[in-house]
Amino acid sequence: MTFPRLLSSLILLFLPVLASATSIFDRLYSGTEAPLEFRLELPVDSLLAKVNGDQLAKVFFTDVNGEANTWDLEVAIRGKFRRQRCEFPPLKLNFSKKDLRAAGLETFDKYKLVSSCSADPLAGNLVLKEFLAYRAYNLLTDVSFRVQRLTITFVDVNGNHPDRVEHGFIIEETDELAARLNLEEMESAIGQPAHLYNPTAEATQALIQYMVSNGDWSTVLARNIKVYKAADDQLIPVGYDFDFSGWVGAPYASPSSDIGQQSIYQRVYQGYVQPDKVMREVADHFREQRRPVMDLIDNFTDLPTEDRTVLRRFVARFFRELNQMNINNSILLYDQLRGATAGVIPPGAEADAFQSMGK
């Protein structure tokens, strides 16, 4: 059984017949790397002062069907590290359920908006690289958060600041992903036993994090992942937030020393131990998707050539090393991925969840 068919049989067997209603995100989502113009009118002084609480705002965009949209909504600053560090903090968009319902849309109403942290062009490139990390995730599995790239024009409703144009993207709502794939979001995912996770989905998520060299996540602590339950009661982890990854290469990012990472560019595998058959099926699927992932980088000309070259080399090394590991049948693929950090147990985890099964 091929990887896509196996993953479908394990996770997506129970998909409902699609309803005619769509979401506000569906109106935005093109499924491509092209940006959509997004005009957001809001009180800039409150955001710069990082005032907590919702602020009234208005958004304008032309959707993927070519129709003009104007929506009243509320915005609020979000995040922890970026809220403290960024000149212009990341935002949460909160649409009115009543307005969505009146427009015949699904009532998914809260969306994360990622935009440049500062006016520095480097900050814009970091946003573009994080967007590409999500898009690579999408290429490797449907069980991932969809993202739509935006060119965001921030307009101060009080007229105290000039318009600000930034790179950005919007992320699919967590409940929307659950509805799309007929999954149920876990209210309390911290400390869920390793054996409850779908082996293929767990290994896929962990290998994606390994590919992008992200140490800033944890399954056992439910940090920077959402955990869903499938119709067969198996758990499905879905990662997000990659700004501390080697893929993005942010100058402010620091390695996760608690998992043995000495540099953000050092790949550390944090996945649970899984049967070698599962691990190699997942690896085979990644290897089959090498060309689409590399093309994603090569064709993204809005990122400077130097950045694309560095990123391409970084990702090519992952595929080259994964291929070498997969050829080696004398050592479990899991053991090869864990490598020098095999003795490091992620914080909060049980050691036996990372114990090699041996040959």
Per-residue pLDDT of 26-65, as tens digits, reads: 999 999 999 999 999 999 988 887 778 899 999 999 999 9
**β-pair type (147-156, 36-42):** parallel
CA angle 193, 212, 128 (to 5 degrees): 125
Task: Give me 15's structure tokens.
Answer: 């998909």
Percent of the chain having pLDDT more than 70? 92
Q: Rounded distance, CA 171 to CA 149, Å?
A: 9
Q: pTM for this structure?
A: 0.93
Per-residue pLDDT at 12 exceeds 50: no
Average pLDDT, the chain: 91
pLDDT of residue 15: 43
Q: What is the CATH number of domain 182-354?
A: 1.10.1070
**pLDDT mean over 96-121:** 92
Phi, psi (deg, nearest 5) at residue 321: -70, -35
DSSP assignment of 238-283 equals EE---TTSTTTT-TT----GGGT-SSTTS----PPP--HHHHHHHH
pLDDT confidence of residue 7: 58
Q: Which of 42-56, 93-107, 141-155, 297-311 has the lowest mean pLDDT?
A: 42-56
Q: Counting runs of H as helices and runs of E as strands, what totals does the chain give?
A: 12, 10
pLDDT of residue 81: 65
CA distance 200 to 11: 9
Q: How confident is the model at residue 13 (pLDDT cuts 50, 70, 90)?
A: very low
End-to-end CA distance of the chain: 23
- Sequence-distant (6+) residues with CB within 8 A of 273 are 194, 334, 353, 354, 355, 356, 357
Q: Sorting pLDDT into bands at 50, 70 and 90, what band is 18?
A: very low
Q: What are the structure tokens assigned to 278, written together?
A: 């599962």
- Give the mean pLDDT of 182-196: 95
Q: How far apart are CA 77 and CA 99, in angstroms?
A: 22
Which tokens go with 90? 């990341």
Residue pLDDT, tens place only, 309-358: 999 999 999 999 999 999 999 999 999 999 999 999 999 999 999 987 66
Top-confidence residue, 23 or 46 = 23
Confidence bin at 160 (pLDDT 50/70/90)? very high
